[in-house]
Structure 1
Amino acid sequence: MEAASKTDAKKEKTSIKTKVQRLGSKLSGMVMPNIGAFIAWGLITALFMDSGWLPNAQLAKMITPMVTYLLPLLIAFTGGSMVDDHRGGVVGAIATMGVIVGTNIPMFIGAMIMGPLGGWCIKKFDAWAQPRTKQGFEMLVNNFSAGILGMLLAIIGFFGIGPVVSGLSAALAVGVDWIIKRNLIPLANIFIEPAKILFLNNAINQGILTPLGIQASASAGKSILFLLEPDPGPGLGVLLAFMFFGKGSAKSSASGAAIIHFFGGIHEIYFPYVLMKPALFLSVIAGGVSGTFMFNLLGAGLKASPSPGSIISILLMTPKGLGNYVAVLSGVAVATAVSFLVSMVILKRDKSEDTDLEASQAKMANMKGSAKGTSSDASAASNEDARAILSTANEVNHIIFACDAGMGSSAMGASILRDKVKKAGLDLSVTNTAINNLKDEPGLLVVTQDELASRALQKTPTAVHVAVENFLNSPKYDEIVTGLKTKEVSGTVDSAPKSDDKAKKETTEESNIQDIDVSKIKVIDFIHHDQNVGSATMGRSLFKDNMKKSGVTGIKVQHLSVGEVDDEEDVLVIASRDTAKRIKLSFKNVQVLVVDNLMDAPEYDKLIAELK
C-alpha cells in the first residue's frame, strides 16, 4: 500500500510538472516570435525618450502607442494563431482591443488570455458551422462569423476581463514593488535558476517578468526584472570551472560553450554541464542570488527585455549613464565569480568518473521534450533515416531549422549543418526561423526537434521533414548531407521531368479505387495547405452533396490540414499528389486517395458508387 501511494504521488507530481511546463511553453510561444518588436520598443525608448541617448520629442511619440497597442496585439495575434492559424489570430487580436481600451496599463496578460480564447472560440464555431453551411456560402459565413465573434469577445473583454486583469496586474506590481523595497528580490533566483535548466525559463521570463518589467520600465525608465533570468553570470561561472577543473570531453568543450553562452546568449548550452553534476544547481543558485543582490544594491535595471541573454544584448538595453553600466556589469561579474567558486569546490571534491557529456545532452533533450508536452523518444520520426526520407523527395534547395523562437539552439544547429553542407560542396542555403514563421514552398527541407515535428508538418505539409533529438549534436546531419549528395549524383535521372502521359499514368496508379477498402471508411478528410484551402473546402462541399444525392449516409466528410489527421484505418484521406507524399511518410494506417483536382476528380463518382 505504501509503495502504491508513493507511485500515485509521483504520478501526480509528474502530472503537475508537465502541466506547468506545457503552460510555460504556450506563454513563451506567444512572446518569443515577437521579441524583435520588444527589442525595437526598448531601443526606441533608450534612444529617444527625454533621458535617452538621442532625445527626440517627435520620435518619442512612438513609445506609448507601441507598448499600449502594438506589443499586446502582436502577442494576441500569435496566441490566437497558435490555436487556429491566421483566422484565430485575427479574432484574438480583435478580442484583445477590448481589454486594451478598457484599461489604462499595458495589457500583456490580457493579450495572453484573449488571444488564445479568440482562437479557440472561432475554431469551435467553425467545427460546428462548416458541416451546416450550404455550398457557395462558405466565404460569407467565414468572414461574418470572425467579425461578429471578435466584436462580442471585445465587448466581453472591455467590461469583464479587462478590469479583472488590470486589478490582478496592479496587485502583482504592488507585490513586486514590496519585495524590491525590502531587498528580497534576490531570493527569486532560488527558483529561477533551477527553472531555467528545467526549461521553465521562457515561462518565467516572457510570461511573468517581462510583462511586469515593461509596466515598471514605462513609468520608471528601467526595471531590475529584465535582469533576473537573462543574467549570463551563473552559467558562465559553471563553464569557467569546467575549463579549469573539469574532466574529459566536458573540460575540452567548456571554453567554446562559454563563448557561445556569454556572447551568443544561448544559455541552453550550459544546461548539460549542470545536469552531469546535479550538485552544480547550488552553483547557479548562489550565482543568481548574489548577482541579483548586487543589481538591487546598485540600482541596476534595463529598458526592455534582452533577447537572447547575451552580454551584448544586455548592454544595448542598459539605460544611458556610466553608473547604470557599472551596476549591470558588477552584477554579472559577481554572479560569475560566486558561481565559479562554488563550482570549483564541487568539481575538485568530486572523485567520480567522468560523466558522459553526450548522455547528459540526451537527458536534456528528453527534459525539453517534456517541457513542450511530449517525449523525444516517443516520436517515430526520430527513428527514420534521413537518407531514406530524402530519397522520396523532389529537389531540395533550401534547409530551414525551426524551433519555438527561431533562435538559440536552432541557430546553432543551422550553423553546424551549414558548415557540413559547405564542406560537402553543396550549394544550399541553411537558415533558422520560428516554427510559426514557416511557409510551405517547393524544395524545402525542414529540420525540427522531435517534439515539434507535428507542428512543423502542419505548417509545411509539402516540405521534406527531418526530426532530431538535439540540435547541438545529431547524427542526422551527416545523413542529410549524404542523402543530398546522393540525390545530386542521381538527380539528372530522378528529377527528369515526366511526360504528361507518364504523369497521368502515375496518378492513376496512385489513385486506384480498388486499393481502398471502402468497407472500413467512416471518415473522409479533404487535405489542404496554404495553397489550396479554398479548393479543399469546395471539394468537400461538392463531394458531400453528391454523397447525399446518391443516398450514402453515416460517413463524416471534413477538410483538415495534414497535422489534424487521425491515423486510423477507417479514415480516407483525399489529397493532391505532393501532399499525399507527406501523408504517406507521416501516417501508417490511413487510406489515401490521390487526385489531380480536389474540386472535381473523376475518382469521386467511382468512390461514391463503391460506398453505396
Structure 2
Amino acid sequence: MELSKNSSDSTLNKGGNSKAKLQKFGGFLSGMVLPNIGAFIAWGLITAIFIPTGWWPNEAFAKLVGPMITYLLPILIGYTGGKLVYGVRGSVVGAVATVGVIIGASIPMFLGAMIMGPLGGYLIKKFDQLIEGKVPTGFEMLVNNFSAGILGGLLTLLGSSFIGPVVNSVSVAIGGAALFITQKGLLPFIAILVEPGKILFLNNAINHGVFSPLGIEQVKTAGKSIFFLLESDPGPGLGLLVAYMLYGKGNAKQSAPGAAIIHFLGGIHEIYFPYVLMKPILILAVIGGGMAADLTFVVTKAGLVAPPSPGSIFAELAMCPKGGFLPVITGIAVGAVVSFLIASVLLKRSNVEVDDDSFDDAKNLVSNLKAESKGQKTQNVEKIEEKSIEIPNLIVFACDAGMGSSAMGESILKKKIKDAGLSIVVKHSAVNEIPKEAEVVFTQEGLVGRAKQVAPDAKIVTVKNFLDNTTYDKFIETLKK
C-alpha cells in the first residue's frame, strides 16, 4: 500500500480539530515535563539507592525523597509552565501559585502544577497587557513587583483552598481506576491506545498527564510503578525494525539497522514511526508487542522508580529498583520478539511493493504530525540561496525540547563539518532558547516560526528528517564554495 501525498493530507485532516487540539495539549504538557526530566531522574536515583529497600539504604539520604517529590518536582513543573506562557515573569507567578496546590493536597501535585503554572503565567501576562502604557514613569518596578506578588499570593490561596483539594480528589479517583484495571489483569489492553497514540504524537497527553503522576504516587507506597513502562518500552519498536532489517526492501531495509540503534540505545522512538506509516497494517505488530510486554510486566511485577527519558534501554535499566532488572528486561524482550514475529509475517505476506518514494512520504508525514503535536503548521520556507551563505561562527540545531532530534542533528552536522575541514561551533538547543549569537539555525519546518521569533537575524535551514544527510551535505558544499 503506497502512501501518496494525497493520502498523507487526508490522514492529517482525519479526526479534525479534536485531534489537533489533543496533540497541542500533549505537546504543551511535554514542554512542562521534559525540561525537568533531569530532576525526576535525580529523585529516582536517590529513591532507588537510599530508601530502606534500595541498593544501599541510608536513613539520612532517604530523607531527601519526600521533600523532592512533594515540593521540588511540582514547583519545577509549575515554574516551567508559567515560563512557557510568559517568560521569567510568568514562571515566578506560576511557581508561587503551585505552592498553594501542594499545601492543599495530600499527594504529589503534578497535575495541580500543570494547571497552576500556566494559569499564573497567563494571568500575569493579561495584567501586563491591561496596564501597558498606563504606569507613571518611575513606578514601573513597584507595579511589576507588587502585581506579581499580589497575583501569586491570591493564586496560592485559591490553590490551597479549592484547586488543590479538587485535583487531589480527581487524582485519587483516577489512581483507583488504574489500580482496579491492574488488579483485574486488563492493563495490557492499554497498548491498543498507547501504541497508535505514539505514532500520532498523542502519547504526551496520556504519558505526562496520567501515567507519570500515577506512577510517582505508586512509587511512594510500593517503591516502583509499572506505569513508567507502558509508553517508554522500546521493545515493540525494536522488533518492528529488526523485521525490516530482514524482510524489508529498498531504503527502508537499508536504514533499519541505524534506526534500530538510535531507537533502542538512544531512546528516540519517533525514528520508527515512518516504518509503520508506510505500511499501516504494521500497527498490529507494535500493538501486539506492547500487549505482550505489558502482560509480562504485570505477571513478573515489573516496575521502575521514576520515568525513563528518553525511552532508551539504558534509561530503563537505570530506573530499575533493586532486584527489578530481570522483570523489566524480560518484558522488553518479550515485546520485541512478539512485535518481530507479527511484523515479519505481515512483511513477507504483503503482495504490495513499497517503494522509496513511499518511505519518503511516510517520513514527511511523521514530520507533519510532529509539527501538529507542537501546535505548529508546516509552512513552505524559501531555500537559502548559495551565494547568501557565508562561513558562520555558530550553528544551532533546534528542536522543541532541545533534547532528542536536535542533539542527534548536532552530532551528525558536527562530524560533517569536521570532515570538511571547517572550524565552526555547532550546538543544540530548544527552539525557544536559541542563542542570540546563532547565525544559522537548523530546525523542522513546523518550528520555523518560533525560530524566527527567537533568532530573527539567523538564517533558517529546514530539515524534514534529522537523519537525512542530504540537507547537511548540500549545506556543507555551499559553505565550501
TM-score, with length taken from structure 2: 0.93
What pairs with 1:56-135 in structure 2 (closer than 5 Å)?
56-135=58-137
Q: Distance in 1 between matches of 2:310 and 2:231?
A: 11
**Residue identity in the other structure for 1:340:** F
Contact kept, 8 Å, 1:386 with 1:476, in 2: the verdict is no
Contact kept, 8 Å, 1:282 with 1:342, in 2: the verdict is yes
Shift of 1:389: 5.7
Secondary structure of the residue that 2:64 maps to in structure 1? helix
Aligned to 1:289: 291
Give per-residue Cα distances to partners, 1:23-43, cap 9 Å, x unaligned: 111111110111111111101
**Residue identity in the other structure for 1:465:** I
Aligned to 1:234: 236
**Residue identity in the other structure for 2:448:** A
Aligned to 2:443: 448
Secondary structure of the residue that 1:104 maps to in structure 2? coil
Aligned to 2:267: 265
CA distance 1:23–1:386, change in 2 (3 Å): farther
Q: Distance in 2 between matches of 1:97 and 1:359?
A: 47
Secondary structure of the residue that 1:396 maps to in structure 2? coil
Q: Distance in 2 between matches of 1:44 and 1:98?
A: 26
Aligned to 2:158: 156
Contact kept, 8 Å, 2:368 with 2:446, in 1: the verdict is no
Is structure 2 residue 432 aligned with structure 1 residue 433?
Answer: no
CA distance 1:255–1:470, change in 2 (3 Å): closer
Aligned to 2:169: 167
Q: Distance in 2 between matches of 1:54 and 1:428?
A: 46
Secondary structure of the residue that 2:428 maps to in structure 1? strand
Contact kept, 8 Å, 1:233 with 1:333, in 2: the verdict is yes
CA distance 1:338–1:207, change in 2 (3 Å): same
Aligned to 1:603: none
Shift of 1:354: 2.8
Stretch of structure 1 that moved more, 274-283 or 448-457: 448-457
Aligned to 1:384: 383
Shift of 1:274: 0.7
Give per-residue Cα distances to partners, 1:133-188, cap 9 Å, x unaligned: 12222222111111111111111111111110000011011011111111111011
Shift of 1:464: 4.1
What pairs with 1:22-421 in structure 2 (closer than 5 Å)?
22-321=24-323, 324-356=324-356, 357-376=359-378, 379-381=379-381, 383-385=382-384, 387=386, 390-391=389-390, 396-421=392-417
Contact kept, 8 Å, 1:399 with 1:446, in 2: the verdict is yes
CA distance 1:371–1:262, change in 2 (3 Å): same
Aligned to 2:6: none
Q: Distance in 1 between matches of 2:148 and 2:447?
A: 28
Give per-residue Cα distances to partners, 1:13-70, cap 9 Å, x unaligned: 3111111111111111110111111111101111111111121111111111111111
Secondary structure of the residue that 1:228 maps to in structure 2? coil
CA distance 1:339–1:50, change in 2 (3 Å): same
Aligned to 1:540: none
Contact kept, 8 Å, 1:102 with 1:162, in 2: the verdict is yes
Shift of 1:461: 4.0
Q: Distance in 2 between matches of 1:462 and 1:208?
A: 40
CA distance 1:12–1:274, change in 2 (3 Å): closer
Q: Distance in 2 between matches of 1:402 and 1:477?
A: 14
CA distance 1:444–1:58, change in 2 (3 Å): farther
Contact kept, 8 Å, 2:406 with 2:428, in 1: the verdict is yes
Give per-residue Cα distances to partners, 1:405-444, cap 9 Å, x unaligned: 222222221122112111111122323223344342x354
Contact kept, 8 Å, 2:278 with 2:354, in 1: the verdict is no
Contact kept, 8 Å, 2:440 with 2:461, in 1: the verdict is yes
**Residue identity in the other structure for 1:267:** H
Q: Distance in 2 between matches of 1:369 and 1:355?
A: 25
Contact kept, 8 Å, 1:401 with 1:411, in 2: the verdict is yes
Q: Distance in 2 between matches of 1:474 and 1:138?
A: 51
Shift of 1:368: 1.3
Q: Distance in 2 between matches of 1:420 and 1:410?
A: 15
Q: Distance in 1 between matches of 2:385 and 2:271?
A: 25
CA distance 1:346–1:11, change in 2 (3 Å): closer
Q: Distance in 1 between matches of 2:112 and 2:243?
A: 43
Contact kept, 8 Å, 2:438 with 2:455, in 1: the verdict is no
CA distance 1:91–1:254, change in 2 (3 Å): same
**Residue identity in the other structure for 2:42:** A
Q: Distance in 2 between matches of 1:22 and 1:62?
A: 35
Contact kept, 8 Å, 1:47 with 1:53, in 2: the verdict is yes
CA distance 1:272–1:215, change in 2 (3 Å): same
Q: Distance in 2 between matches of 1:115 and 1:446?
A: 30
CA distance 1:12–1:398, change in 2 (3 Å): closer
CA distance 1:195–1:388, change in 2 (3 Å): farther
**Residue identity in the other structure for 2:94:** G
**Residue identity in the other structure for 2:328:** V
CA distance 1:62–1:389, change in 2 (3 Å): farther
Identity of counterpart residues, as a percentage? 54
**Residue identity in the other structure for 1:152:** L
Q: Distance in 2 between matches of 1:89 and 1:469?
A: 32
| Rg larger in structure | 1
CA distance 1:154–1:460, change in 2 (3 Å): farther
Give unpaired runs (5+ residues) of structure 2.
Answer: 1-11
Contact kept, 8 Å, 1:268 with 1:409, in 2: the verdict is no
Contact kept, 8 Å, 2:26 with 2:202, in 1: the verdict is yes
Contact kept, 8 Å, 1:96 with 1:115, in 2: the verdict is yes
Q: Distance in 1 between matches of 2:142 and 2:349?
A: 72
Aligned to 1:541: none
**Residue identity in the other structure for 1:397:** N
CA distance 1:443–1:291, change in 2 (3 Å): closer
Shift of 1:11: 6.9
Residues paired across the two proteins, number: 468
**Residue identity in the other structure for 1:169:** S
Q: Distance in 1 between matches of 2:385 and 2:155?
A: 46
Q: Distance in 2 between matches of 1:482 and 1:246?
A: 32
Shift of 1:314: 0.5
Q: Distance in 2 between matches of 1:400 and 1:84?
A: 24
More relative contact order in 1 or in 2 (CA 8 Å, sep 6+)? 2
Stretch of structure 1 that moved more, 402-411 or 190-199: 402-411
Q: Distance in 1 between matches of 2:24 and 2:95?
A: 23
Q: Distance in 1 between matches of 2:399 and 2:438?
A: 20
Secondary structure of the residue that 2:461 maps to in structure 1? strand
Contact kept, 8 Å, 1:198 with 1:367, in 2: the verdict is yes
CA distance 1:180–1:143, change in 2 (3 Å): same
